[in-house]
Amino acid sequence: MANRMSSRPLLTLVVKRTFRSVAIYTSLYVILTFVSAGAVRVLHPSGALAIALALVPAVAAIGIVRPYILGLREMDEFQRRLQYEAILIAAATTAFASVAYGFLEILAGFPRLPAFCAVLVTVGAFALATVFLNLRHRV
Amino acid sequence: MTCEPGDLPPKAKRASLLYMRDMAICAVVYVGVVFGAVTLIRHMPFSLPQWAVVIVALTPLIPALMMVRTYMTYLRSMDELGRRIQTEAWLISAAIVGLGTFTYSFLEEWAHFPRLDLVWIFPALIFFWGAATFFVRRRYK
């Protein structure tokens, strides 16, 4: 407990810096997505150009993950453990949701959902798990 | 893929062997349940009511839950470094699959790539977790 209290200022700095970098790259991702969508609407591309435009936002997506992993390595053991638990919960939720709905799509005729629904489930579960775990441990 | 029993102390070696045995059983049960569900819904002379189809379609979740339980038991038996490697591998896998599916959605919409069934997300997560575990372990060595 004393250790955790004494490392709090450094921890806050690392967490803040990590989430600031993630927020910047997420904003860039959203901007690039809109730019690509706009270009597709105007140019009506096909073939290689359409593929290239679809891949443009992925550049920023890599930028979202990298600072998070680097920040995670700098966090103290307690904060890192909370993040790891949240990641495991998010991965398990995504796996279950995709298996459950995937079979309902194929076998029970449920409407087909686009693949990006998986990332929405992952991000949503990760956010909820982070909030829940932080509340549970009263950080 | 995630354990090398030859390098481990006896207790960890036992946990590793138990994990591999239980996971193999779960995998066999999973394949059996999936084939059973498909046969029951698609290849039977009678047709099931919709509520029964939904229940049968969800039965593969049972062996999937067994897999998670087996994995959690194995994870708890690991030391701090082992847990850290595993969770970093899950993070990388979730990131690749999450961002990959998002990117693939654009390819579906704009470049008319074939639609991806959500049922492939789970195997993709497992595949990238396995690959990431290999690379993360190498980094810590």
Sequence spans of domains, chain A: 1-75, 76-139
Closest chain A C-alpha to B8 CA, distance in angstroms: 24
- Stretch A78-105: mean pLDDT, rounded? 87
Q: Kindly tell me if the per-residue pLDDT of B79 is higher than 90.
A: no
CA dist., res. A125 & res. B17, Å (int): 32
Query: pLDDT class for B27, splitting at 50, 70, 90?
Result: very high
CB atoms within 10 A of CB B117: 16
Residue A116 structure tokens: 């990006």
pLDDT at residue A23 in the model: 85
pLDDT in tens, A106-135: 888 888 888 878 888 888 998 899 888 888
B-chain residues within 8 Å CB-CB of A87? 87, 90-91, 94
Query: pLDDT class for B135, splitting at 50, 70, 90?
Result: very high
- Stretch B4-10: mean pLDDT, rounded? 61
pLDDT at residue B7 in the model: 61
Contact B93, B125 (CB under 8 A): yes
pLDDT at residue B8 in the model: 63
Instruction: Kindly determine whether residue A87 and residue B87, on different chains, have CB atoms separated by under 8 Å.
Output: yes
Top-ranked range on mean pLDDT: pick from B13-17, B46-50, B122-126, B128-132:
B128-132
CB atoms within 10 A of CB A91: 24
Instruction: Kindly determine whether residue B95 and residue A105, on different chains, have CB atoms separated by under 8 Å.
Output: no
Q: Where are the alpha helices (DSSP H) in chain B?
A: 10-42, 50-58, 61-77, 80-110, 121-140
3-state SS of A77-118?
Answer: HHHHHHHHHHHHHHHHHHHHHHHHHHHHHHHHCCCCCCCCHH
By residue count, chain A amounts to: 139
Q: Which has the higher per-residue pLDDT, A12 or B41?
A: B41
Pick from A45, A51, A101: CB nearest B107: A51
Most A CBs within 10 Å, among B62, B121, B125, to test the A interface: B121
pTM of the model: 0.75
Contact A105, B118 (CB under 8 A): yes
From the number of C-beta atoms within 10 Å of its C-beta (0-12, 13-18, 19+), residue B116 rates as buried
- Stretch B101-106: mean pLDDT, rounded? 84
Place of tokens 């708890």: B76
Pick from A62, A115, A122: CB nearest B116: A115
Please tell me which residue of chain A has the smallest CA distance to B104. A115
Instruction: Kindly determine whether residue A103 and residue B58, on different chains, have CB atoms separated by under 8 Å.
Output: yes
Contact B87, A88 (CB under 8 A): yes
Furthest-apart CA pair in chain A: how many Å?
Answer: 61
Instruction: Kindly determine whether residue A95 and residue B61, on different chains, have CB atoms separated by under 8 Å.
Output: no
Closest CA to A56 of B106, B60, B131: B106
Query: pLDDT class for B68, splitting at 50, 70, 90?
Result: confident
Please tell me which residue of chain B has the smallest CA distance to A60. B99
pLDDT in tens, A45-87: 878 888 888 888 888 877 777 787 778 777 788 888 888 888 8
**Residues ≥6 apart with Cβ < 8 Å to B58:** A100, A103, A104
Pick from B42, B64, B118: CB nearest A117: B118
Query: pLDDT class for B24, splitting at 50, 70, 90?
Result: very high
Q: What is the DSSP letter of A75?
A: S
Residue A41: which H helix or E strand, with range? helix A8-43
Most B CBs within 10 Å, among A78, A79, A94, to test the B interface: A94
Instruction: Kindly determine whether residue B121 and residue A36, on different chains, have CB atoms separated by under 8 Å.
Output: no
Q: Which has the higher per-residue pLDDT, B3 or B73?
A: B73
Phi and psi angles of residue A11, each rounded to the nearest 5 degrees, phi first: -60, -45
Closest CA to B18 of B98, B79, B74: B74
